[in-house]
Amino acid sequence: MANLKEVKERINSVVSTQQITKAMKMVSAAKLRRAQDKIVQMRPYSQKLTNILNNVSAASEGASDIVFAEKRDVKKVLIVPVTSDKGLCGAFNTNVIKATNAAIKDQFAGKEITILPLGKKAYETFKKREFSVINDFYQVFLDVSFDNVRAAAEYAMNGFIAGDYDQVVLVFNEFKNVATQIIRTEQFLPMAKEEGADEVKAAESDYIMEPSRSYIIEELVPTSLKIQFYKAVLESNASEHGARMTAMDKATENAGELLKELRLMYNRTRQAAITNEILEIVAGANALGGN
């Protein structure tokens, strides 16, 4: 059985750890509120912008000429895994890495793969492997702003136009609630046709377009794609804080359970020590009395 000093040191260590996890939970809760507000406000805007794009392009004879919708034989793929910069957030980063590896193995086997990591964890993971890694944008979470994310989106879009990549895929955590994040592997480029897009042709006739349909599409498509990219980053950012808050809450609970066991062990050890001392005193007294 451990002595009193060892048990006391373990108790102090667990108490310190519990204080840290409590503080991290509170910090994540504060950050989550701001991140959740951003993504909740972004979703309707992104959805409406996509609907407008579908309405404008559905009946357009030149819709098939949209450069970002060009379909090719997929030989070169750019994968964008979105992770966090830090750990201590449960399986948040691990799930993205696993989903990325699964896509490389199953969906893009034999293709030329390039990784555009967003987040330090993704960068560190894939930098150690044989893939070509773009290291210009992995620190985007130091300042999650549209301007910073737009630079990464423009890199992917320009690479697609130039023919450097035939397909661009986003892998990220979609925020559902504090305790639930859903892993998503979505095609970013070429633009995927939305379900029900053919049904919006009738609604298209309600639009009066100035200066021209082609001009509007040329302006609207890049903007819509950048918003979609930014939305994925915001989803991941909110998911990260939710995952970390949940992980730290669970860690705090586990520390509390461990403290109960350690304190029980401490009391038992102390009681055993006192009992041994009493027995030694009684034995000594009996020995003296016998003499």
Say which amino acid occupies 113. I
Q: Is 80 a catalytic residue?
A: no
Euclidean distance between CA atoms 143 and 156, whole angstroms: 20
Query: Do 81 and 96 touch, CB atoms closer than 8 A?
Result: yes
First to last CA, the chain: 35
> One of 42, 58, 80, 89 is an active-site residue; which one?
89
Annotated active-site positions, please? 89
